[in-house]
A and B are shown apart, each in its own frame.
Chain A
């Protein structure tokens, strides 16, 4: 029993809580209210205390069953058989449990709703504050707007006044201009009047001076001079006048002719340039049609273009011959056409390039383009570097130049000059030494060859003597012997001497060439061969003449040295080696230097 009472009170407590929350869910409250068919539901405490008594248990049970049924639960609470005031516990507990469940669920939902409510209220608050803020802003902007309106009004006023000012200024300007004009005219008029007066005065003055027979106006001269051109003066005749005119026109004409010639030259040059440009354009444009042959329409256009090209080519050929006006027109027209085509072509190329750029870099053709670009970039960088380098050098040079304009630097410059000269002389001296060495070698060769020749000649001489002796001893007829001996002798001589010449000449050139390569001689073989044969002849005739051969050789390489001078050296030192003697003087000059 005690248990039961406890549960009941707890249940009542729930009821109380539910009742206290009724305000929030009016539908339920109504439900409950309707369910309680009891009077004065407002004072629930009193009602509860009197809900179930010992007497009205069945009613209560039925009532609760009813209630449970209305709540959608199975009304299983049954009363025990009458007379016993107890309940069938299991269904009642079930019902209670279910009721508790329901209650919990409702409590949960109530909690949720409460939360929601809180959230809503906070948002509401937020809204309210933002609203108020916005209102403030609105007010502010309205105030600003009114301020701006005010300034605008003021500005407009100002503008109006300025406009009026401008108008007045314009008027003023106009007035001033008219004033200036009137003053200018007045001034010029006055000036003219004054000038006239002055002219009159001048006239008068000169008249007076003439009238006074100014004695002082005179020329005193010891004796008259002859004309500067030595001729006698001419009488002023019509013929002379005419000749003057003719001379004037002649000079004018010659001037015009000269200018015309200059213009013609210029014109021809320009035409040449034009032609060349045209040709190049045609050259550029001609291979493009097969490349771009896509659609039929384009093809036809291309055909037309090529046709035109041919025509223009013809016209260009014509214009080469004639230079009259319509030809010029044609030429300019054709050039214009070509230009248009070129432009179109370039545009097309541009489009293609942009297309290629837009395409993803999948095909292999793009890669060389990129590398090309990289290469170009690299080259550009390089060029930039080079430029910088050059610039730095120039700057350094400039600095050097500009810091030095005093005497000491002039002296320094002179020092530079002498140093440079010294350097050059050294170089020359070195070359000269080399030459000398080469020449020495050559000479040795010559002497050797000559000695050998001499020896061989002697051998030959002996041979001949022996042969002659033999002939003489063999006692052949005189005439025959003579002929055969002479012919034999000649043949022997020629046979024997030719290889000698060959060897000598073949021996000499290498030495020479080595000497010449240092000088880059213009005439290699002939000049080298001819003197050598001469020398050989000389050696054949007498004992080698060193001095003469040396002379000639020296002269030869002086010449080459002179040419070299002209070629490479800016400040020629050819005067130093202008003659044989000067070579030796050069020797002496150089000795102290080296």
Chain B
């Protein structure tokens, strides 16, 4: 496992370009472009204010920097450093800014969701989309970049508009059977649109590209409903995590439930439960010498490793406060691995555990019990390999062959708050509070484990 040196960043803004060649980081009002391999600075742009949002265009040629407080968006070109573009939304305000899939249009959402402004960088033309709905995920582009689905609210009713991204032609506009639509997401093949109700009611609607209602699914009534939704990369499954601590898997043929993954506090039917165990290195006081600072610093960082707990295992559960809104219970995060073979989930009232389920056998594959709360987990975009972090100075990796905990060797207590895989799966960006670090996991050990796993 190799780690780069630590770089500064702010607002956790650092992204690898879609082609995987460049790394863009924001430091206050500066935008720094580096080469991913050498980490040398290629370009440095200065914005008008502190950057609150940054995004690469799909062709990796432009970068958008949004300054929401000032209602400003600045666009920079990688090829022509002196090219510049500035979009001012004026007094109407700005809450969200994003690229269109073609990388030539910018969609700005104004304050109070009054409208979405579509700016064309080809023609300088402006168009507006009115009545966008302010919700969890009200806008989604299809994976191939052809279509955009947008949730709208008119006359106290929910609508979905489907636009052709090429020329912003309104393809379909239909009312949905929801009381209060909360989100929508395209299936990866771009033919089915999943639309779900707000958490007050468990309701999942599936629409075809031409606006026909394909199916409706509701698991139960009355209690709080859907909390998270994820399509499998093969478009074969739709996983729905809900407040009742369960994940339900719908199939793409009948749109009925084919599996239900529960998150019991006592686990007794899985292959392995990995439990992280921390141990402080025992160094006696006379061994500590002033000149050996590295030893001293390593004293404060605890070592950790994984242990296989014998079944059954009790997972610590935190009972949520019933009087608070958005109770910390239920499946809040779920992610399919790139080959759709595994799904990783996190149940909010068992915040220290990540659950990995096997989608072929439809059963629990492994549980990772950490010592602290899980901040973020993400699958390797190429291999079935899960990286996770818990806000401490360690990086954890799971693969079917085993589990690794790696100490980030950066100085000054680098704490990993979130992480991002490089699109090739060869490196990993670890993002701390105001720093970042590149990690190159040596594949050899993992390969070794995979090899052993295959030959077991």
Contacts and interface: CB of A to CB of B under 8 A. Distances in A.
Interface of A: 188, 191-192, 195-196, 199, 202, 205-206, 209, 214-229, 233-234, 236, 240-241, 244-245, 247-249, 251-252, 255, 259, 263, 394, 397-398, 401-403, 405-406, 410, 413, 417, 570
B311 to A, nearest CB: 13
23 contacts: A188-B179, A196-B156, A199-B155, A205-B112, A209-B92, A216-B89, A216-B90, A216-B91, A217-B88, A221-B121, A222-B85, A224-B123, A225-B104, A227-B102, A236-B167, A251-B146, A251-B190, A252-B191, A252-B210, A394-B456, A405-B405, A406-B305, A417-B444
Nearest to B112: A202
A244 B308 contact: no
Given A192-B156, A234-B167, A240-B169, A405 B104 contact: no
Nearest to B126: A219
B92 A217 contact: yes
Most-contacted residue by chain B among A223, A224, A228, A394 (CB, 10 A): A228
B305 A220 contact: no
B423 interface: no
B381 interface: no
B308 A219 contact: no
Contacts of A236: 167, 169
A222 B84 contact: yes
B218 to A, nearest CB: 17
Contacts of A217: 88-90, 92
Contacts of B131: 199
A401 B449 CA distance: 8
Nearest to A416: B448
A259 B253 contact: yes
- Nearest 10 interchain pairs by C-beta: A216-B90, A217-B90, A255-B191, A221-B85, A214-B90, A192-B156, A220-B86, A228-B102, A225-B121, A219-B87
B114 interface: yes
Interface of B: 58-59, 71, 82-92, 102-104, 112, 114-115, 119, 121-124, 126, 131, 146-147, 153-156, 164, 167, 169, 171, 179, 189-191, 208-210, 252-253, 303, 305-308, 401-406, 444-445, 448-449, 451-452, 456
A255 B171 contact: no
Nearest to A222: B83
Contacts of A398: 308
A252 B209 contact: yes
A233 B147 CA distance: 17
Nearest to B62: A225
A196 to B, nearest CB: 7
B86 A219 contact: yes
Nearest to B304: A405
Contact of A248 (B85, B179, B210, B401): B210
Most-contacted residue by chain B among A188, A215, A234, A402 (CB, 10 A): A402
A226 B90 CA distance: 26
B199 to A, nearest CB: 15
Nearest to A249: B210
Given A218-B90, A222-B82, A405-B403, 18 more contacts: A202-B112, A218-B87, A219-B124, A220-B85, A225-B122, A228-B59, A240-B169, A244-B171, A248-B210, A251-B146, A252-B210, A397-B456, A401-B401, A401-B449, A405-B405, A405-B406, A406-B305, A413-B448
Contacts of B406: 405
B119 A263 contact: no
A150 B34 CA distance: 89
A248 B92 contact: no
A225 B80 CA distance: 12
A226 to B, nearest CB: 7
B102 A229 contact: yes
A202 B191 contact: no
Given A206-B115, A244-B169, A248-B209, A224 B91 contact: no
Main secondary structure of the interface of A (DSSP, over half): helix
Contact of A405 (B82, B102, B167, B404): B404
A236 B305 CA distance: 62
Nearest to B145: A228
B146 to A, nearest CB: 8
A410 B445 contact: yes
A248 B445 contact: no
Nearest to B169: A244
B402 A402 contact: yes
Nearest to A234: B167
Contacts of A192: 156
Contacts of A570: 451
Given A219-B119, A227-B102, A214 B83 contact: no
A215 B456 CA distance: 70
Contacts of A221: 84-86, 121, 124
A547 to B, nearest CB: 42
Nearest to A252: B209
Contacts of B452: 397, 401
Contact of A228 (B103, B154, B155): B103
Nearest to A209: B92
Nearest to A217: B90
B340 to A, nearest CB: 14
A401 B156 contact: no
A437 B169 CA distance: 79
Contacts of B115: 206
A241 B82 contact: no
A202 B114 contact: yes
Contact of B208 (A209, A234, A252): A252
Nearest to B172: A248
Contacts of A216: 71, 88-91
A248 B166 CA distance: 13
B104 A214 contact: no
Given A205-B112, A405-B405, A226 B306 contact: no
A215 B89 CA distance: 10
A41 B452 CA distance: 124
Contacts of A410: 445
A394 B90 CA distance: 66
Contacts of B126: 219
Contacts of B123: 224, 233
Nearest to B409: A407
A223 B456 CA distance: 61
Contacts of B210: 248-249, 252
A233 B167 contact: yes
B88 to A, nearest CB: 5
A556 B155 CA distance: 83
A216 B306 CA distance: 57
